């Protein structure tokens, strides 16, 4: 299927998803639709074990929403609600994708770009990256999940500092806040994300899937319910061939060969 702004290549079981909407990879309904389509297409692929998302060009991962579309949405509550829900559904599908998704933040990640990065499992930022949610400067707030995911990732105080202040943060500031997991030299975010993805690909794929589910589902539950959910997911894994292979490989002092069964 031909897409205009979002495409991917598969390298050694890693899908590199590139958002290419010059000049700064801004978010609009077309980009959201294509990004959703890409993840639907990737989900059943047996030759894909991890995903890296990045921005085309050297300037931006994604520099927020295309503000030009806002003019036509002022005063149209039902329409903006529909647009916002479309963005949320797209980013939630990325958050719940059954393989690891890594954001390679290669420049500006503002507004929707920051929200997209936060929907990923792990964030690798180039040292020239600038991250923020400046929507309050336009009189609005993040709508693609930012108010919810940032609060869960950073805690309420830091999320409020970002969202209510609307400031921009350097890659090092973001690292200190826990907003990104690693900072690398400019131009190296994608390579570092690929290297990290290769590490994940050497692990049990069903364990990766259930680990994601335990964290994502459990953090939206009470601790008591989250612990029960964790126990259920561990028990499920002990019914698989992969766990037998992992244990056998350990005692036989060899690398396991997982088959996702």
For the chain, the domain total comes to 2
Catalytic position from the list 34, 115, 192, 232: 115
pLDDT in tens, 181-215: 999 999 999 999 999 999 999 898 999 999 999 99
60 and 166 assigned to the same domain: yes
Q: How far apart are CA 83 and CA 121, in angstroms?
A: 24
Phi and psi of 129, rounded to 5°? -65, 145
**Considering the domain boundaries, does residue 258 fall inside one?**
no
Q: Are 29 and 83 in contact (CB under 8 A)?
A: yes
174 and 222 assigned to the same domain: no
Query: Which residues constitute the domain of residue 244?
Result: 205-251
90 and 186 assigned to the same domain: yes
pLDDT of residue 260: 84
Residues 6+ positions from 151 with CB-CB distance below 8 Å: 159
Catalytic position from the list 135, 217, 232, 252: 135
The Cα-based distances of 160 to 16, 87, 153 in angstroms read: 32, 21, 12
**Considering the domain boundaries, does residue 260 fall inside one?**
no
Q: Which among 8, 18, 102 is positioned nearest to 54, based on CA atoms?
A: 18
pLDDT of residue 48: 94
212 and 178 assigned to the same domain: no
Q: How far apart are CA 158 and CA 161, in angstroms?
A: 5
115 and 215 assigned to the same domain: no
**Considering the domain boundaries, does residue 43 fall inside one?**
yes
63 and 135 assigned to the same domain: yes
Q: Identify the CATH number of the domain in which residue 237 sits.
A: 1.10.12
**Secondary structure tally for the chain: helices H, strands E:** 10, 10
144 and 215 assigned to the same domain: no
pLDDT of residue 259: 87
120 and 153 assigned to the same domain: yes
153 and 239 assigned to the same domain: no
**Considering the domain boundaries, does residue 101 fall inside one?**
yes
Q: Which of the residues in the chain have pLDDT under 70?
A: 1
Q: Are 53 and 102 in contact (CB under 8 A)?
A: yes
Q: What is the pTM of this model?
A: 0.92
142 and 187 assigned to the same domain: yes
Q: How far apart are CA 108 and CA 94, in angstroms?
A: 20
Q: Are 182 and 124 in contact (CB under 8 A)?
A: yes
**Considering the domain boundaries, does residue 177 fall inside one?**
yes
19 and 92 assigned to the same domain: yes
Q: In 72-167, which ranges are E strands?
A: 100-105, 108-110, 122-126, 130-132
Q: Verify whether residue 115 is a known catalytic residue.
A: yes
Give the length of the chain. Answer: 261
Q: Are 69 and 31 in contact (CB under 8 A)?
A: no
Q: Identify the CATH number of the domain in which residue 133 sits.
A: 3.90.226.10
231 and 194 assigned to the same domain: no
pLDDT in tens, 125-160: 999 999 999 999 999 999 999 999 999 999 999 999
């Amino acid at each position: 299927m031909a897409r205009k702004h979002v495409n991917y290549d598969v390298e050694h079981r890693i899908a590199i998803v590139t958002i290419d909407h010059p000049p700064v990879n801004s978010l609009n309904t077309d980009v959201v639709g294509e990004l959703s389509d890409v993840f639907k297409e990737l989900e059943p692929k047996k030759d894909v074990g991890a995903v890296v998302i990045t921005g085309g060009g050297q300037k931006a991962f994604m520099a927020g929403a295309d503000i030009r579309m806002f003019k036509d949405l002022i005063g149209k509550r039902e329409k903006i609600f529909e647009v916002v829900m479309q963005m949320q559904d797209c980013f939630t599908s990325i958050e719940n994708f059954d393989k690891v998704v890594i954001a390679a933040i290669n420049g500006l990640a503002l507004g929707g770009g920051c929200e997209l990065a936060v929907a990923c499992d792990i964030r690798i930022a180039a040292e020239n990256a600038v991250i923020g949610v400046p929507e309050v400067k336009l009189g609005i707030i993040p709508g693609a999940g930012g108010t919810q995911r940032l609060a869960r990732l950073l805690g309420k105080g830091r999320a409020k500092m970002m969202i209510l202040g609307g400031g921009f943060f350097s890659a090092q500031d973001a690292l200190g806040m826990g907003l990104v997991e690693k900072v690398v030299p400019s131009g190296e975010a994608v390579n570092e994300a690929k290297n990290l993805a290769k590490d994940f690909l050497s692990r049990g794929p069903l364990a990766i899937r259930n680990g994601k589910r335990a964290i994502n589902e459990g953090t939206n539950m009470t601790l008591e319910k989250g612990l029960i959910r964790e126990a259920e997911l561990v028990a499920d894994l002990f019914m698989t061939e992969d766990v037998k292979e992992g244990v056998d490989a350990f005692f036989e002092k060899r690398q396991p060969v997982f088959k996702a069964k």
